[in-house]
Amino acid sequence: MSTETQTPEAKPPRRRQQQRAIDTRERIIEAAIVEFAARGFEAASTRAMADAADAKHTLVTYHFNGKEGLWQAAMDRTVRAFTTKQRDRLAGLHGVDDVIKLRLVLEDFVRYSAENLNVHRLMTHSSSEASPQLDAMVTDYLKGYFDLVADLIRSCQAKGQFVEGDAHHLHYLFIGAATRIFMQSAEVTRILGRSPLEPAFIDSHVERCLALFFRDLPEKKGRRSV
């Protein structure tokens, strides 16, 4: 009985086509994130996105049904992905003290901000004025996450471990403190002589941002002798 040497078979044509379609879709989404971040929704060009993704313009409509669908995909890839990750992280910390939970959530946010500058640029464009995109961003992506963080802030305030004030207001203050230095990284590099995107700088920035808002427990402070 003769035996034949088996060699790895090439992927079937249909499978190769499916993989190419997936790869093209991914490139278009990444290009869309950059384009929306640079120009905002109204000024963004789907043709520029297609060119940047090295794809035919008709594929934007094929995969996303136009600019609105592509914006939705960009938000899912960025904002929804982050908030979902944060929710999952908190679910895994069930039973852990709220102060620790909040510190971890805020630290994750700072580090994510340093690694994903286009996300903040995209959101800045979307939130600068009233629009359907802003409504969708708040309702579908942000409101639940902001409420979750606000609940943690209030819990930490009740323990005397977070600065007093409206929880949502304080959250926005933290966002500003955490992200601005990354958004102006070129200017900061010239002023400080080092990039705020360096790992060591990010570590330091995390600690300084947290220190602005968290307070020590009373028992950790110096006590008066009786």
CATH number at residue 134: 1.10.357.10
Return the pLDDT at 213: 97
Domain interval for residue 156: 75-216
206 inside domain: yes
What is the predicted pLDDT for the residue at 97? 96
Q: Give residue 225's pLDDT band: very low, low, confident or very high (50, 70, 90).
A: very low
Q: Is residue 113 part of a domain?
A: yes
Residue 36: inside a domain: no
Cβ-contact 217, 209 below 8 angstroms: no
Residue 53 lies in a domain: no
Q: What is the pLDDT of residues 14-38, one digit of tens each?
A: 777 788 888 899 999 999 999 999 9
Q: Assess if residue 98 is contained within a domain.
A: yes
**Does residue 100 fall inside a structural domain?**
yes
CA distance 140 to 143: 7
pTM: 0.82
Give 80-116 pLDDT, tens digit per residue.
999 999 999 999 998 999 999 999 999 999 999 999 9
* Cα–Cα distance measured from residue 52 to residue 48, given in angstroms and rounded to the nearest whole number: 6
| Residue 16 maps to a domain | no
Three-state SS annotation for 172-220: HHHHHHHHHHHHCHHHHHHHHCCCCCCHHHHHHHHHHHHHHHECCCHHH
- Within a domain: 34: no
Hunting for tokens 């700072």 — which residue is that?
A: 110
Total domains present in the chain: 1
